[in-house]
Amino acid sequence: MVDGTVYVGSIDEHVYAIDASNGIDRWSFQTDGLVYSSPAVVDGTVYIGSDDGTVYALEAAFGTERWSFQTDGDVKSSPAVVDGIVYVGNSDGHVYALDTADGTERWSFQTDGSVSSLVVKDGRVYTVDRRTVYALGNSDTENGETERFETCSACQAELNDYDNPAFCPECGANLSDFVKETQIYDPN
C-alpha cells in the first residue's frame, strides 16, 4: 500500500489500484496474461510483470503505461527496484536489469532454471534455483564473464578442485543431493 492505495495484480489479467479507504478502483490496467507478480511501487511508478511475458511500468496515479519490456517467458516474479534499475526474472530463466526511466535493457543473464524470486543487496541481484546460487552484477569477475564454483551444501567444502565427485571428499555427503553451485556474473 502506498499513499492509501493498494496496487495488486489479478488472475483476470488486470493490474488494479484500489483506494484502501473505500475499496473503489482508482484505475485498472489490462495485460494479456494472468498477473501473479506483486508490484514494486517506486517514485510514482508501478512495476509489475504478467504471464503475457511483459514487464510494465505504469503511472501510479493514473495507470497509464510509461513503458513496457517484452520477454520470452511468463513474468511471475516481483520486480525489485534499486538505484534506477528494475530487476526482474521470468520463467525461461532470464534475469533482466532494466532502466527505470525507459525500460532499456542494461543487461540480462540466463540462469538454468525458472526465476520466481530475486533479492537485490549491495548492487548485486541474487536468485536461486534447486542447486545454484546466482550473484549477478558488480562483482570482481571479468566484465561480461561468469564465474562458477561448486560447494558441498552439507559441509560447505569447495568442490572446484575435484572432478565431479559423486560424494563430498570432505564429509562424504551424496552430491546428487548436496552439491550447490554458485555463479557470479559481472555485466559491466
Look up residue 98 and give its three cell numbers. Answer: 532494466
Distance between first and last Cα of the chain: 34
Interface with Zn ion, residue 2, by CB under 5 A: no
Residue 170 lies near Zn ion (rule: CB under 5 A): yes
Residue 160 is a binding residue for Zn ion (CB under 5 A): no
Stretch that binds Zn ion, among 7-15, 35-43, 102-110, 169-177 (CB under 5 A): 169-177
User: Residue 107's closest CA among 118, 115, 98?
Assistant: 98
Stretch in the footprint of Zn ion (CB under 5 A) among 81-89, 107-115, 135-143, 162-170: 162-170
> Coil, strand or helix: which one is 71?
coil
What is the CA angle 87-79-30, rounded to 5?
A: 130
Q: Would you report the helix, strand and coil content of the chain in percent, each value rounded to 5?
A: 0, 45, 50
Note whether 174 binds Zn ion by CB under 5 A: no
Instruction: State yes or no: residue 173 binds Zn ion (CB under 5 A).
Output: yes
Q: Does 153 bind Zn ion (CB under 5 A)?
A: no
Contact residue for Zn ion among 86, 168, 179, 184 (CB under 5 A): 168
* Strand-strand pairing, 146-152 and 179-185: antiparallel
Which neighbouring-strand residues pair with 136? 125, 185
Q: Which of 102, 104, 155, 174 binds Zn ion (CB under 5 A)?
A: 155
Nearest approach in angstroms of CB 69 to Zn ion is 41
Question: Residues touching Zn ion: how many (CB under 5 A)?
Answer: 8
Task: Pick between residue 2 and residue 157 the one whose CB is nearest to Zn ion.
Answer: 157
Tell me if 154 contacts Zn ion by CB under 5 A. yes
Please say whether the beta carbons of 74 and 53 come within 8 A: yes
Binding site for Zn ion (CB under 5 A): 152, 154-155, 157, 168, 170-171, 173
